[in-house]
Chain A
Amino acid sequence: MQRKTSPWIYKGVMALMLAAIALAGARAQDLKSFEQRITTKVLLNGLTLVICERPEAPVFSYSTFIDAGDVNDPSGESGLAHMFEHLAFKGTSQIGTKDYAAEKIALAKVEAANDAYEAEYLKAVGRDEAKLAELKKAFKEAEAEAHKYVIPNQFTDVAERNGAEGLNAETQLDETIYFWSMPENRLELWAWLESGRLADVVPREFYKERDVVIEERRMRTDSNPIGRLVEQFLATAYVAHNYGRSAIGWPSEVSQINATEAMDFHKKYYVGANIVVAVVGDVKASEMLPMLEKYFSNIPAGPKPEEMTTVEPKQFAEKTVAIREQTQPFYLEGYHRPDYRSPDAEVYDAITDIMSNGRVSRLYRSLVRDQQIAAEAEGFSPFPGDKYPGLFAFYAVPLPGHTPAEMRDAIHKEIDKLKTADVTDEELAMYKTRTRADLLRGLADNQGLANSLAQYQTRYGDWRELFRQLDKVDKVTKADIRRVANEVFVPSNRTESWIETEAAPAAAAQKDGGAQ
């Protein structure tokens, strides 16, 4: 992510849960009215354009959805997809440079200098510290030389000067999304900028940006108690699949990603067949399609990358993660569940809704209102992604004086009720009504709609699935909920994690900020 102020993990699991709900909630009103306003075009390079006309105001929003995220990072290179996303803001051979021909040569020297440094640094035995220092110096000189050709932040500068609003990107485990909104008269400029950076990225200022990304890790994960817990929780819940790997990257790996690796990732995953671009707003598809087609045809064709072979094996051992530190207690647990294509996907959504949505939800009424042991208690799913089998997770924030163990026991009691008795007719009807209404509410926002259309086009090959899923929602029964609860919420499929508050050392006087 480029500069989000309330990003995921930063606010901990609560934010993640909202994201999951946003996904689940994105379905729709009247398929017919959208059929008339949406144009879909698959270009010769395989890239899909989805254009939705919504001329409420002279603006548009777009969402570029790359069907690759940190789950695709090669072994030893965790954090690579995210690192590449940062690079995509650095410009191309045409923007952000004073002289690309000279810069290209200088960048090759930076890469060679980095390779030489890393080779020495990684020597298992006989590393020569003096030589290492020399190589570091040579690297810094090469970097300074390449920097001479850079016009810093010119790509984003041109976008912002032309009215780009909400300019940002997000790298998830499953996907990478680029987005912003603009006045409608900048559509062609946007097409030039966006197609340019997808097709023609230059590894400009790569190593400085790597430092920036490591600061992002320190902020989101290392310096945040829930960030630390979530990273350990996922690493424990998964033994084989990349959902268990740090999304922003393990420190030793993200700090050694190089530009060559990032460009290889681009070459493999940023091909037409792996990209959907959705535009929503004051745009006439019939007039604009030829222009968009010309620009977005710049992106290389290339085959759709092969699917991952790894499937998380069935869990048979119950697992726990206990963190003892001087922060307040917290409880989080998860159960493996199938991916978004499962015929039971909506059953999981129903369970999430009934257990967690608002003051009528079972967990709120039980843990917060009646037992008064928690300030918050919810379930959310799928986590940390939906493309591959994820987790159905539950968390609770204990009130002062209450423990993670009490949270666990109280959550398990509520889960047992799902397994032994049907939910009520009212609960099931409420889930269906709220899902329908939430979907409708989401249709009045250009950016939200662009994101949903791009996502559904990618995941199902047809944006119409956004609307059709309501039929599946309607078919969920009480028996389905009970069956799925009995299948999935079993101890051998569970990972429990918590933070326990450790007493502060007796002499915990304030340190003086290293001012000795």
Chain B
Amino acid sequence: MKKIFGMTFIIAICALIFAPNFLPAQQAKPWEQIPTPRLHDFKPHQPQRIVLKNGIVLFLQEDHELPFVSGSVSIPGGAREEDAAKTGLVSLYGQTWRTSGTAKLSGDALDDLLEAKAAHIETGGDVDSTALSWDSLKGDADQVFSLAMDLLFHPQFNAEKLQLAQQQVATEIMRRNDDEGEIASRESAKLVYGANSPYTRQPEFATIGAVTVDDLKAWHDRTINGKLIVAISGDFDPAAMEAKLRAAFEGLPAVKAAPPRHDTFAGPKPGLWFINKEDVNQSNVQIVGLGTDRRNPDVPALVVMNEILGGGFASRLFQKVRTELGLAYAVGGSYGYAWDHPGEFRAEVLTKSATTVDATKAALDQIAGLTTRPFTDEELARAKDNILNSFLFRYDTREKVLAERVKLEFYGYPADYLETYKAALEKVTLADLNRVATKYIHPDKLAILVVGNGPEIKPGLDELKLGPVQTVDISIPMPKQPGAEQKQ
């Protein structure tokens, strides 16, 4: 090994010194002469999984490197389940739960107590779940765990803290049209799923104003009976921790399964949409369609296709639009897959107003090219190398392994999903790529949204020849109460 290295080094030095006259070095690809020794043996450290009689699942992941203990409780049910007339409820719940505190200890007192120990307990709401999490130094772990359990089982939602949360969300509503990128991603997602879909509907002043303290309590009482997943990691004694968790969770009633969802996903109406924003000099172009979910056996082939389309520096979109044409700093795209519902196909390019049409055409051409320009062996090999050689970074820390296991448990995937997924990636062939591209890439089913400075966009968007340019109204419905904020 050392010898080979020595030679490489000498070649490298010669090339540096004699570069003008001494040429074969670059054709020699000196980096290919560098040996790749066998990777050190490594088996990701899996957490201990315990299923309680009532169906609650515990994960214990020991990690004694640093003197900390952290934990989380994941609770099924999120914003997609909230009443449309109260959109924003789960976000308000996620904030108010923690800031209100418990019957014994107010949220403010909890802040003082925890911060003095550099410890944290936080709550939050997401599209399909809510969660409670905590972390502290090892020495404070017992006390912080008790406080977290008190908050989990005896929350005390109060009106003042709900009002604070409502002000936070009101501020977000008021500001949601200030940032071009935020407008583009939000409005393009609405094109894919529909403006009133549980996945994209947005809070308004009226819907957050309709949420009451009783709504938050009712939400909590309903979801706490679901299949909780409790995950602990860090510097603890596993037997003692298991006993503690059993004491806290074993007495709860049998978990209630979440009712199945019956969402429909039609995908976007094909066409061209535009939102005018005259304080920018760059257009944000989103090209969107409906994606798939992870249970689809074509996902591994789609992941390889994504790598070729928009994965890294060598991807088709990056090479063409950024490197070759210099039309964008930010450019990318992929056929998306979510855990339990269809994700989005999304390609985006950010380019100066005057090159909006050129850059959009270039991106559309690369998307269409997935079915017309055959994939090469070189592209396949590169994409697989990119994905497989960095696969290790999905489980190189115990924290990541634990987070992955919690996700798999939450969505009902097998514990060895990562291994089977990796094996499937390794088997993807050119024929698979061509098959999935033909099956899933339909340029005529995509919607294109441009957010940009209308008067500066020349040539105009009609040059794209994608039918009439339809404008999207993003004005913010203002509250009706007297003395409220004026319309933006």
Contacts and interface: CB of A to CB of B under 8 A. Distances in A.
Interface of A: 3, 10, 29, 55-59, 89, 93-95, 97-101, 104, 152-153, 156-158, 160-165, 181, 183-186, 188-189, 192-193, 196, 199-200, 205, 207-216, 218-219, 222-225, 282, 291, 294-295, 298, 325-328, 357-360, 368-369, 372, 375, 397, 399-401, 426, 429-430, 433-434, 436-438, 440-441, 443-444, 501, 504, 510-516
11 contacts: A3-B330, A10-B181, A157-B313, A181-B393, A184-B39, A219-B282, A359-B108, A399-B170, A434-B118, A514-B456, A514-B460
Contacts of A57: 42, 392, 396-397
Interface stretch (B248-256, B287-295, B315-323, B426-434): B315-323
Contacts of B107: 359
B364 interface: no
A155 B417 CA distance: 33
Contact of A56 (B5, B21, B164, B397): B397
Given A100-B19, A162-B385, A157 B314 contact: yes
Contacts of A369: 108, 164
Contacts of A429: 116
B218 interface: no
B202 interface: no
A169 to B, nearest CB: 12
A369 B329 CA distance: 40
Given A208-B323, A291-B5, A513-B461, A156 B312 contact: yes
A325 B19 contact: no
A512 B19 contact: no
Given A223-B282, A444-B66, A510 B118 contact: no
Interface residues of B, number: 103
A196 B29 CA distance: 13
Across chains A and B, which 3 residue pairs bring their CB atoms closest together, nearest first? Answer: A511-B454, A163-B389, A514-B460
Nearest to A98: B26
A434 B485 CA distance: 39
A372 B161 CA distance: 11
Contacts of B396: 56-57, 59
Contact of B397 (A58, A99, A209, A444): A444
B215 interface: no
Given A372-B164, A440-B66, 7 more contacts: A10-B181, A161-B382, A163-B393, A325-B279, A369-B108, A437-B118, A441-B68
Contact of B322 (A212, A295, A433, A438): A212
A101 B20 contact: yes
A193 B31 contact: yes
A360 B111 CA distance: 6
B488 interface: yes
B105 to A, nearest CB: 14
Contacts of B276: 510-513
A60 to B, nearest CB: 10
A59 B393 contact: yes
B376 interface: no
A514 B39 contact: no
B167 interface: yes
Given A510-B471, A515-B460, A433 B118 contact: yes
B127 interface: no
B328 interface: yes
Contacts of B330: 3, 215, 219
Contacts of A504: 488
A101 B27 CA distance: 12
Given A183-B392, A515-B469, A213 B164 contact: no
B212 interface: no
Given A162-B385, A438-B118, A153 B319 contact: yes
A188 B328 contact: no
Given A93-B26, A397-B171, A219 B350 contact: yes
Contacts of B382: 157, 161
Interface of B: 5, 8-9, 12-13, 15-16, 19-21, 23, 25-26, 29-31, 34-42, 65-68, 99, 107-108, 111-112, 115-118, 137, 163-164, 167-168, 170-172, 174-175, 178-181, 274-276, 278-282, 312-314, 318-319, 322-330, 350-352, 382, 385-386, 389-390, 392-393, 396-397, 450, 452, 454-462, 469, 471, 473, 484-485, 488
Contact of A218 (B172, B279, B282, B390): B282
B469 A95 contact: no
Contact of A375 (B8, B34, B171, B456): B171
A211 B454 contact: no
A158 B350 CA distance: 27
A165 B396 CA distance: 12
A514 B461 contact: yes
A436 B390 CA distance: 33
Contacts of A100: 19, 23, 25-26
Given A156-B312, A514-B460, A515-B469, A95 B31 contact: yes
A367 B185 CA distance: 31
B471 A512 contact: yes
Task: From A101, A213, A223, A437, name the one whose CB has the most chain B CB atoms within 10 angstroms.
Answer: A223
Contacts of A400: 170-171, 174, 485
B292 to A, nearest CB: 23
Contact of B16 (A181, A199, A443): A199
A160 B329 contact: no
Contacts of A188: 5, 34-35
A298 B21 CA distance: 19
Contacts of A444: 65-66, 397
B319 A399 contact: no
Contacts of A514: 454-461
Nearest to A217: B329
Given A399-B167, A516-B460, A294 B9 contact: yes
Contacts of B327: 211, 215
Contacts of B274: 510, 512-513
B350 A215 contact: yes
Contact of B19 (A93, A430, A515): A93
Contacts of A327: 178, 279
A183 B9 CA distance: 22
Task: From B167, B276, B313, B351, name the one whose CB has the most chain A CB atoms within 10 angstroms.
Answer: B313
A355 B25 CA distance: 59
A512 B179 CA distance: 20
Contacts of A328: 174-175, 178, 488
Contacts of B389: 161-163, 183
A407 B484 CA distance: 19
B281 A440 contact: no
Contacts of B174: 328, 400
A51 B179 CA distance: 42
B120 to A, nearest CB: 8
A85 to B, nearest CB: 13
A94 B12 CA distance: 8
Given A400-B174, A401-B485, A515-B461, A440 B67 contact: yes
A205 B26 CA distance: 18
A514 to B, nearest CB: 3
B197 to A, nearest CB: 24
A514 B272 CA distance: 13
Task: From B5, B29, B117, name the one whose CB has the most chain A CB atoms within 10 angstroms.
Answer: B5
A89 B329 CA distance: 14
A433 B116 contact: yes
A225 B326 contact: no
Contacts of A95: 26, 29, 31
A513 B19 contact: no
A475 B175 CA distance: 42
A360 B115 contact: yes
